[in-house]
Amino acid sequence: MTNPGNANTGHTNAGPMIPRSPFTTSTRMTDPAEFFTAVRAGSTERVQALLAKNPELAHARTEGATALHFAAIANDRPVVDLLLAARADVNARDDTYQMTPIGWANEEGHGDMVRHLYDCGAEVDLHQAAAYGLVDHVKDLVRGTRRQVNAVVGGWTPLQLATLWGHQAVVELLLSRGADPLVRDPFGRTTLEVARAQVESNAKGTPIVRDERRREIVQACARIAELLEQRSPH
């Protein structure tokens, strides 16, 4: 992922420009801490009331992330939809990992939320689409060269990420488009070794997913390993 650009600041002869705070007089009447407490508690009515009083809260941050990040990772569709209706930025990146809300949702394995945020305009590149299991989007993005399919970003290929997250349909699609399973990941593993490691470690490579999603990943990685073993030269 790329870092977001920084806005340029300027000044006049009269002195430096003072940035206008996003929290106007009416905003200051609403405590952002109260808002984030409501978001984390899943208190839909309270979130709605606070947004009605101050829509700018949809863009506020705490702990380096927006309310949409927290609602997404909590898989809270009603609060997510309230925030999106208030024009929360679906592509805002957190300060620590530079991840957008769709990435936060994926980290815990909330596939339905990932799809919802994607449908609501979340920007997703090939590597992210592979990790998130967005097979239709992957299909649209791999119409280019074989080099594109095997591009390494952050040390990972799309095939490796699809394997790590247990998306067999994406793995099969990428292999059919020329993905190379012998490229090594940041830990020196081939794609087959990534799949085996996920099975043997109970999906340690995706550490904070829910238990149900963890089981899905392990089972899918076992099937992916079998698929790759069949393709390996004997």
DSSP-derived 3-state class of residue 156: strand
* Helix or strand (DSSP H, E) at 81: helix 77-85
- State whether 98 and 178 are in the same domain: no
Q: Of 123, 151, 169, which marks where a domain is finished?
A: 123
Distance CA 91, CA 69 (A): 10
Structure token digits, residue 173: 């699609």
Band (31; pLDDT cuts 50, 70, 90): confident
Percent of the chain topping pLDDT 90: 82
My answer on whether 41 and 115 are in the same domain is yes
Same domain as 230, residue 148: yes
Closest-CA residue to 192 (of 202, 201, 182, 200): 182
The pTM of this model reads 0.84
Q: Are residues 112 and 151 in the same domain?
A: no
Give the model confidence (pLDDT) of 185-234 as tens digits: 999 999 999 999 999 999 999 999 999 999 999 999 999 999 999 987 65
The pLDDT tens digits for 172-194 are 999 999 999 999 999 999 999 99
Under DSSP, the state recorded for 134 is: -
For residue 81, the model assigns a pLDDT of: 98
Structural domain span for residue 31? 23-123
**Averaged pLDDT, 132-141:** 96
DSSP secondary structure letter of residue 86: T
Query: 179: Cβ–Cβ under 8 A, 6 or more apart, which residues?
Result: 149, 150, 157, 158, 159
Chain center to CA of 165 = 12
As for how many domains the chain has, the answer is: 2
What pLDDT was estimated at residue 17?
38
Residue 31 or residue 230, greater confidence: 230
217 in a structural domain: yes
Give the CATH number, domain containing residue 157: 1.25.40.20
Residue 43 has pLDDT above 90, yes or no: yes
Residue 136 and residue 87 share a domain: no
Residues 132 and 103 in one domain: no
